[in-house]
Chain A
Amino acid sequence: MAEAKTNSEDYLRMYTQMVRIRTFEDNANQLYLSAKMPGLTHMYSGEEAVAVGICEALTDNDRITSTHRGHGHCVAKGANFKEMFCELLGKEEGYCRGKGGSMHIADQSHGNLGANAIVGGSMGIATGSALRAKLLGQDDVTVCFFGDGATAQGLLYEVMNMAALWHLPVIYACENNGYSEYTKTEEIAAGSITARAEAFGIEAFKVDGQDVLAVNELTQKLVARCRKGEGPFFIELETYRYHGHHVGDINREYYRSKDEEKDWKENRDPIVRFRSWLVDQGIATEDEIEAMNAEIKKDATEAVAYAEAAKYPDVSEVDMHVYAD
Chain B
Amino acid sequence: MREITLSQAVNEAIAEEMRRDPTVFLMGEDVAEAGTPFKVLSGLVEEFGTERVIDTPIAEPGFVGLAVGAAMTGARPIVDLMFGDFIYLVMDQLCNQAAKQHYMSGGKLSVPMVLRTNMGATRRSAAQHSQSLQALVAHVPGLKVAMPSSAYEAKGLMKTAIRDNNPVVIFEDKLMYQDKAPVPEEEYLIPFGVANVKRTGTDITFIATSSMVQVAEKAAEILAAEGISAEVIDPRTIVPLDEATLLESVRKTSRAIVIDEGHQSYGVTAEIASRLNEKAFYHLDAPVLRMGAMDVPVPFSPALEDITVPTPEGVAENARKLCAGEMIHAA
With contacts A128-B72, A132-B75, A135-B52 known, is A159 near B102, CB below 8 A? no
Residues 116-151 of chain A: 1 if any B CB is under 8 Å from the residue's CB, otherwise 0? 101001111111111111011000001000000000
- How far is A121 from B110 in the complex, measured between Cα atoms in Å? 17
Query: Which residues does chain B contribute within 8 Å of A30, judged by CB atoms?
Result: none
| Contact (Cβ within 8 A) B72 A129 | yes
B73 touches A99 (CB 8 A): no
B36-71 vs A, CB cutoff 8 Å, 1 = contact: the mask equals 000000000000000110001101011111111111
Interface contact B62-A155, CB-CB below 8 Å: yes
On chain A, the residues within 8 Å of B93 by CB distance are 124
In the complex, chain B residues whose CB is within 8 Å of the CB of A165: 57
Most-contacted residue by chain B among A106, A116, A126, A133 (CB, 10 A)? A106
Q: How far is the CB of B38 from chain A (nearest CB, A)?
A: 24
Q: Report A-chain residues with C-beta under 8 Å of the C-beta of B254.
A: none
Query: A98 at the A/B interface (Cβ < 8 Å)?
Result: yes
Checking B52, B62, B74 against A159 with a beta-carbon cut-off of 8 angstroms, the contacting residue is B62
List, in ascending order, chain B residues with CB within 8 A of A302's CB: none
Q: How far is the CA of A45 from the CA of B25 in the complex (A)?
A: 41
In the complex, the answer to whether B106 meets A113 with C-beta atoms within 8 Å is no
Contacting pair B108 A124 (CB below 8 A): no
A162:B57 contact, CB within 8 angstroms: yes
- Is there a chain B Cβ closer than 8 Å to A228's Cβ? no
Q: Which of B69, B106, B165 has the most CB of A within 10 A?
A: B69
Residues of B within 8 A of A63 (CB): 73
Q: Is B266 an interface residue (CB 8 A)?
A: no
CB contacts (< 8 Å) of A128 on chain B: these are: 65-73, 77
Least distance between B282 CB and chain A CB atoms (Å): 28
In the complex, the answer to whether A106 meets B63 with C-beta atoms within 8 Å is no
Query: How many chain B residues touch A (Cβ–Cβ < 8 Å)?
Result: 44
- CB within 8 A of A131: which of B22, B69, B102, B165? B69
Q: Does A73 contact B (CB under 8 A)?
A: no
Are B57 and A104 interface neighbours, CB within 8 A? no
Compute how far the CA of A121 lies from the CA of B104 in the bound complex, rounded to whole angstroms: 14
Contact of A323 with B144 in the complex, beta carbons under 8 Å? yes
B69 touches A126 (CB 8 A): yes
* Residue B96, interface by CB 8 Å: yes
Interchain CA distance A114-B103 in the complex, whole Å: 12
Within 8 Å of chain A (Cβ to Cβ): is B97? yes
Tell me whether A100 and B62 are in contact (CB under 8 A): no
Contact of B142 among A113, A116, A126, A322 (CB under 8 A): A322
Contacts of B23 in A (CB 8 A): 136
User: A126 to chain B: which residues have CB within 8 Å?
Assistant: 69
User: Most chain-B Cβ atoms within 10 A of its Cβ — which of A99, A127, A128, A133?
Assistant: A128
B108 near A158 (CB under 8 angstroms)? no
| Contact pick for A113, options B63, B66, B69, B166, CB 8 Å | B69
Q: A121-B96, A135-B51 are in contact. Are A162 and B66 (CB under 8 A)?
A: yes
Nearest opposing residue in chain A for B27, CB measure: A131
Q: Is the CB of A321 within 8 A of B107?
A: yes
Query: Which A residue sits closest to B65, measured CB to CB?
Result: A124
Among B104, B107, B142, residue most surrounded by chain A Cβ atoms (within 10 Å): B104
Given A118-B92, A125-B72, do A158 and B62 touch, yes or no (CB 8 Å)? yes
A75-105 Cβ-contact flags toward B at 8 Å (1 or 0): 0000000000000000000111111100010
Tell whether, in the assembled complex, residue A136 and residue B66 are in contact, meaning their CB atoms are under 8 Å apart: no
8 Å CB interface, A274-325 against B: 320-325
1/0 per residue, CB under 8 A from A, across B72-111: the answer is: 1111010000000000000011001100011111111110
Residue in contact with B65 in the complex, picked from A98, A104, A125, CB distance below 8 Å: A125
- Give A116 to B52 CA distance when docked, in angstroms: 28
Instruction: Check if B184 is an interface residue, CB within 8 A of chain A.
Output: no
Bound CA span A114–B110, Å: 12
Q: In the A-B complex, list the 10 residue pairs whose CB atoms are closest, starting with the nearest.
A: A124-B65, A128-B69, A158-B62, A97-B106, A125-B69, A128-B66, A158-B59, A96-B106, A324-B165, A132-B70
Q: Identify 27 residue pairs between A and B in the complex whose beta-carbon atoms are under 8 Å apart, listed by A's number.
A: A94-B106, A97-B107, A99-B104, A99-B105, A100-B106, A104-B104, A106-B108, A108-B105, A118-B96, A124-B69, A125-B68, A127-B66, A128-B67, A128-B72, A128-B73, A129-B70, A131-B69, A132-B73, A135-B52, A135-B70, A136-B75, A154-B61, A155-B62, A158-B65, A162-B57, A322-B142, A324-B107
Q: Point out residues on B near A: beta carbons under 8 Å.
A: 22-23, 25, 51-52, 56-57, 59, 61-75, 77, 92-93, 96-97, 101-110, 112, 141-142, 144, 165-166
Given A113-B69, A127-B66, 13 extra CB contacts under 8 A: A100-B104, A104-B105, A114-B101, A131-B69, A131-B70, A132-B74, A135-B25, A135-B70, A159-B62, A162-B57, A321-B102, A321-B105, A321-B106
